[in-house]
Amino acid sequence: MRRRSEPHTFEQRLEAQRLRLEHEMARLPDGQQRDCLVARLEQLQTAAEMYDFLMLRQETPASR
C-alpha cells in the first residue's frame, strides 16, 4: 500500500511558494512578468499576515 507523505502546514506551503517565486524572479529581467511575480509575492505576504492574525485571535480566549 502506498504511504502518504505528511501534510504540509499552510505556513510551510506559503514559504515554499515564496522561495520558488523569488528564485524565478531573480532570473527575470525588469518587465511585466517580473512585475506579476512581485504582485504575487505581495499577495503571499498578505496571506501570511492574515493567517498569523487569525491564529493569534484563535489562541486568545473570547472575552465577553
**Banded model confidence at residue 6, pLDDT cuts 50, 70, 90:** confident
**Tell me: the pLDDT tens digits for 12-63?**
999 999 999 999 999 999 999 999 999 999 999 999 999 999 988 887 766 5
C-alpha cell at 45: 505576504
d(CA 60, CA 64): 12
pLDDT at residue 4 in the model? 72
d(CA 25, CA 23): 5
- Contact predicate 24/37, CB 8 Å: yes
